[in-house]
Amino acid sequence: MAVGEAGRNRVEERVSRIVQQLRASGHRITPQRVAIIRHFVGRTDHPSAEDIHTELLADYPMMALSTVYGTLRLLAEMGEAVEVSPATHETRFDPDVGDHCHLTCLACNRIMDLPMDACVHAEDFATAAQHQGFQPVRQVYQVFGYCADCRRDREAPSRA
Protein backbone atom coordinates (compact mmCIF):
# COMPACT_ATOMS: atom_id res chain seq x y z
CA MET A 1 0.00 0.00 0.00
CA ALA A 2 1.41 3.41 -0.99
CA VAL A 3 2.00 6.08 1.66
CA GLY A 4 -0.57 8.31 -0.04
CA GLU A 5 -3.17 5.56 0.10
CA ALA A 6 -2.44 4.83 3.76
CA GLY A 7 -2.86 8.54 4.53
CA ARG A 8 -6.17 8.64 2.67
CA ASN A 9 -7.34 5.57 4.59
CA ARG A 10 -6.47 7.25 7.91
CA VAL A 11 -8.38 10.36 6.86
CA GLU A 12 -11.42 8.30 5.84
CA GLU A 13 -11.31 6.34 9.11
CA ARG A 14 -11.17 9.59 11.09
CA VAL A 15 -14.00 11.12 9.03
CA SER A 16 -16.12 8.00 9.56
CA ARG A 17 -15.49 8.06 13.33
CA ILE A 18 -16.36 11.76 13.56
CA VAL A 19 -19.55 11.31 11.52
CA GLN A 20 -20.60 8.41 13.76
CA GLN A 21 -20.00 10.55 16.87
CA LEU A 22 -21.99 13.43 15.41
CA ARG A 23 -24.86 11.16 14.43
CA ALA A 24 -24.88 9.53 17.88
CA SER A 25 -25.10 12.95 19.54
CA GLY A 26 -28.05 13.99 17.36
CA HIS A 27 -26.31 16.29 14.87
CA ARG A 28 -27.46 16.42 11.27
CA ILE A 29 -25.15 14.81 8.77
CA THR A 30 -25.27 16.75 5.52
CA PRO A 31 -23.10 16.34 2.42
CA GLN A 32 -21.65 19.81 3.14
CA ARG A 33 -20.74 18.92 6.72
CA VAL A 34 -19.05 15.69 5.62
CA ALA A 35 -17.16 17.57 2.89
CA ILE A 36 -15.95 20.15 5.42
CA ILE A 37 -14.81 17.44 7.83
CA ARG A 38 -13.05 15.44 5.09
CA HIS A 39 -11.37 18.53 3.67
CA PHE A 40 -10.22 19.66 7.12
CA VAL A 41 -8.91 16.45 8.69
CA GLY A 42 -6.85 15.66 5.61
CA ARG A 43 -4.80 18.86 5.98
CA THR A 44 -1.43 19.53 7.56
CA ASP A 45 -1.74 23.32 7.66
CA HIS A 46 -3.90 25.58 9.83
CA PRO A 47 -6.75 26.83 7.63
CA SER A 48 -9.33 29.45 8.47
CA ALA A 49 -13.03 28.82 7.93
CA GLU A 50 -12.76 31.29 5.05
CA ASP A 51 -10.00 29.18 3.44
CA ILE A 52 -12.09 26.02 3.59
CA HIS A 53 -15.22 27.83 2.43
CA THR A 54 -13.41 29.23 -0.61
CA GLU A 55 -11.87 25.86 -1.46
CA LEU A 56 -15.20 23.99 -1.26
CA LEU A 57 -17.41 26.66 -2.88
CA ALA A 58 -17.00 25.29 -6.41
CA ASP A 59 -18.42 21.91 -5.34
CA TYR A 60 -20.96 23.37 -2.89
CA PRO A 61 -21.99 26.80 -4.24
CA MET A 62 -24.82 27.20 -1.73
CA MET A 63 -22.62 26.44 1.30
CA ALA A 64 -22.70 29.28 3.82
CA LEU A 65 -19.57 30.43 5.60
CA SER A 66 -21.49 30.00 8.86
CA THR A 67 -21.81 26.26 8.06
CA VAL A 68 -18.03 25.98 7.86
CA TYR A 69 -17.53 27.93 11.09
CA GLY A 70 -20.18 25.88 12.86
CA THR A 71 -18.66 22.59 11.73
CA LEU A 72 -15.11 23.61 12.71
CA ARG A 73 -16.26 24.83 16.13
CA LEU A 74 -18.17 21.58 16.61
CA LEU A 75 -14.99 19.65 15.75
CA ALA A 76 -13.12 21.73 18.32
CA GLU A 77 -15.76 20.93 20.97
CA MET A 78 -15.37 17.24 20.15
CA GLY A 79 -11.59 17.42 20.50
CA GLU A 80 -11.08 16.80 16.77
CA ALA A 81 -9.66 20.28 16.08
CA VAL A 82 -7.83 22.98 17.97
CA GLU A 83 -8.78 26.62 17.58
CA VAL A 84 -5.55 28.53 17.03
CA SER A 85 -5.22 32.13 18.13
CA PRO A 86 -2.52 33.54 15.91
CA ALA A 87 -1.64 37.20 15.50
CA THR A 88 -4.05 37.42 12.58
CA HIS A 89 -7.51 38.82 12.03
CA GLU A 90 -9.07 35.44 11.36
CA THR A 91 -9.64 32.37 13.49
CA ARG A 92 -7.58 29.43 12.30
CA PHE A 93 -8.07 25.74 13.06
CA ASP A 94 -5.58 22.90 13.45
CA PRO A 95 -6.52 19.30 12.55
CA ASP A 96 -3.56 18.04 14.64
CA VAL A 97 -4.99 17.55 18.12
CA GLY A 98 -1.80 16.02 19.53
CA ASP A 99 0.64 17.88 21.74
CA HIS A 100 2.88 20.19 19.71
CA CYS A 101 4.13 23.75 19.35
CA HIS A 102 3.15 26.39 16.81
CA LEU A 103 5.59 28.76 15.17
CA THR A 104 3.55 31.77 14.00
CA CYS A 105 5.10 34.22 11.55
CA LEU A 106 4.21 37.81 12.36
CA ALA A 107 4.80 38.88 8.75
CA CYS A 108 3.02 36.31 6.57
CA ASN A 109 0.80 34.76 9.31
CA ARG A 110 1.90 31.23 8.39
CA ILE A 111 1.64 28.72 11.23
CA MET A 112 4.06 25.79 11.31
CA ASP A 113 3.99 22.80 13.65
CA LEU A 114 6.97 21.83 15.75
CA PRO A 115 7.03 18.43 17.49
CA MET A 116 6.61 18.63 21.26
CA ASP A 117 10.03 17.07 21.92
CA ALA A 118 11.58 20.07 20.15
CA CYS A 119 9.75 22.49 22.47
CA VAL A 120 12.35 22.75 25.22
CA HIS A 121 10.86 22.56 28.72
CA ALA A 122 7.27 22.55 27.43
CA GLU A 123 6.47 19.60 29.68
CA ASP A 124 7.30 21.80 32.67
CA PHE A 125 4.13 23.81 32.00
CA ALA A 126 1.93 20.73 32.31
CA THR A 127 3.73 19.68 35.49
CA ALA A 128 3.29 23.16 36.98
CA ALA A 129 -0.39 23.09 36.03
CA GLN A 130 -0.82 19.72 37.75
CA HIS A 131 0.79 21.11 40.92
CA GLN A 132 -1.95 23.77 40.88
CA GLY A 133 -4.62 21.07 40.73
CA PHE A 134 -5.24 21.60 37.02
CA GLN A 135 -5.53 18.53 34.77
CA PRO A 136 -4.00 19.27 31.34
CA VAL A 137 -5.66 17.50 28.44
CA ARG A 138 -3.83 18.95 25.45
CA GLN A 139 -0.75 21.11 25.04
CA VAL A 140 -0.27 23.52 22.17
CA TYR A 141 2.29 26.28 22.56
CA GLN A 142 2.82 29.26 20.31
CA VAL A 143 6.04 31.02 19.48
CA PHE A 144 5.71 34.26 17.52
CA GLY A 145 8.46 35.50 15.22
CA TYR A 146 9.48 35.49 11.57
CA CYS A 147 9.74 32.48 9.27
CA ALA A 148 12.88 31.93 7.20
CA ASP A 149 11.35 33.47 4.05
CA CYS A 150 10.14 36.60 5.84
CA ARG A 151 13.42 36.99 7.72
CA ARG A 152 15.29 36.81 4.44
CA ASP A 153 12.97 39.47 2.96
CA ARG A 154 13.33 41.71 6.02
CA GLU A 155 17.14 41.39 6.06
CA ALA A 156 17.59 41.91 2.32
CA PRO A 157 19.05 45.30 1.48
CA SER A 158 16.39 47.54 -0.02
CA ARG A 159 16.91 48.52 -3.62
CA ALA A 160 16.60 52.24 -4.24
DSSP string across 5-20: HHHHHHHHHHHHHHHH
Average pLDDT in the 14-39 region?
Answer: 96
What pLDDT score was predicted for residue 33? 96
Say whether pLDDT at 154 is over 90: no
Average pLDDT in the 49-59 region?
Answer: 96
What pLDDT score was predicted for residue 2? 44
Say whether pLDDT at 3 is over 80: no
pTM beyond cutoff 0.75 = no
**HSE value, Cβ hemisphere, 13 Å, CA-based, for 35:** 17
In contact, 54 and 16? CB cutoff 8 Å: no
State the angle between helix axes of 31-41 and 49-56 in degrees (0 to 180), rounded to the nearest 10. 120
Q: Which domains does the chain have, with CATH numbers?
A: 1-97 (1.10.10.10), 98-160 (3.30.1490.190)
pLDDT per position as a tens digit, 67-103: 999 999 999 889 899 888 655 677 888 888 888 888 8
What pLDDT score was predicted for residue 119? 77
Who has greater pLDDT, 108 or 139? 108
Q: How confident is the model at residue 1 (pLDDT cuts 50, 70, 90)?
A: very low
Among 10, 87, 91, residue whose Cα is nearest residue 47: 91
